[in-house]
Structure 1
């Protein structure tokens, strides 16, 4: 019986891992936005030095997702190095520099929140229809013993709130903005992949990019 229980939990884990960990909580687009081809898009993630791995992963994943849609996208890490977050420059100078480097579109992606949550788990238990184990004394005894005597434990999850802002650099106009929440993605690469996927899908749905 135990091998069937283990198989059940493995299937549950696989089904959960296949789901997207990120959802869009709000999104906005400019009323007069139209489909436009961008020659070169800069992707900038602002996460702070402690989460530089998230910055690199998010920039890389978003650039990859844009390239899959036919855009030429470059990460800020690749173009300007790791210390872009420390640069405080005048807006006009910054935009002029980007235009000189050939960029006509830009994604700015700040990490707005990173929080940990502790969850209580009451120990091992298994649900099954009554006929599944109540009709057998030993199966019933083992199942109920596990529910009653297995020790409880705590698990900690980490959730992230990211924002995506897309600008047309020709007129310095914000065309699209969305906030997302990611529920315990498990790794920076998974966070970045799920985030870029839902954002690109939402932008395509809103006819901002195609």
Structure 2
């Protein structure tokens, strides 16, 4: 029975590991949207003040992934500092500051929501390859009995919901938008890396950026 208990525990740990993910939930772009490699893209992340490191990583990873594709991207945090833009600024002043830096597009990354969810995981029957104990009655019955009545457990997941918008400063309009969800990212760096990969992959799929 101890061996069965260890198997159930191992399966639970694998389930927890599998829960960690970053996935695209939706995306959209205008029909005529195309990025030009020589036009500067300013990446601006907006997260709570206590998570400034996450902001830095989100911007830097998106910049890196876009540069890998040959695009002229830069981080707003690196170029302007942490307090360069705020809700007290007038639109004209904000646009002037961006255009004076030669930016033609702005890619915003906003943490819409961060929440914890508690779920009950049932430790019921688990299917797998044909086991040895199937050939005899009692090993078969006792093994399934233990699995059937093994108590479940609660697990808590941390979910991050992100939104990325791309604005054309000359046309003053939104040309691309994507929403993603990250579940239980092991580190801020890992979350930023996977997020950036997901966004650039979708931009390529949407033909917003050209393949090499």
TM class, shorter-length: 0.7 to 0.9
Does the Cα contact within 8 Å between 2:85 and 2:94 map onto a contact in 1? no
Aligned residue pairs, count:
206
Which residue is equivalent to 1:25? Answer: 25
Structure 1, 179-188 or 125-134: larger mean CA deviation: 125-134
2:18 is matched with which residue? 16
CA distance in 2, matches of 1:43, 1:75: 5
Counterpart residue number, 1:88 = 88
Following the alignment from structure 1 to structure 2, what is the Cα–Cα distance between the partners of residues 70 and 11? 40
Aligned CA-pair RMSD: 3.3
Given the two structures, how large is their TM-score scaled by the length of structure 2?
0.78
Is 1:74 aligned with 2:74?
yes
Shift of 1:55: 1.4
Question: Which consecutive residues of structure 2, in runs of 5 or more, have no partner in the other structure?
Answer: none
Equivalent residue number for residue 41 of structure 1: 41
**Gaps spanning 5+ residues in structure 1: where?**
none
Task: Judge which range, 138-147 or 196-205, deviates more.
Answer: 138-147
Tell me the CA shift for residue 129 of structure 1.
4.9
CA distance in 2, matches of 1:107, 1:138: 60
TM-score of the superposition, structure 1-length normalised? 0.79
Kindly indicate whether the alpha-carbon contact (under 8 Å) linking 2:37 and 2:70 is maintained by their aligned counterparts in 1.
no
Structure 1 residue runs of 4 or more that deviate by more than 6 Å after TM superposition: none
Deviations 1:104-144 (A, max 9, x none): 22111111111210012345975445644343656864674
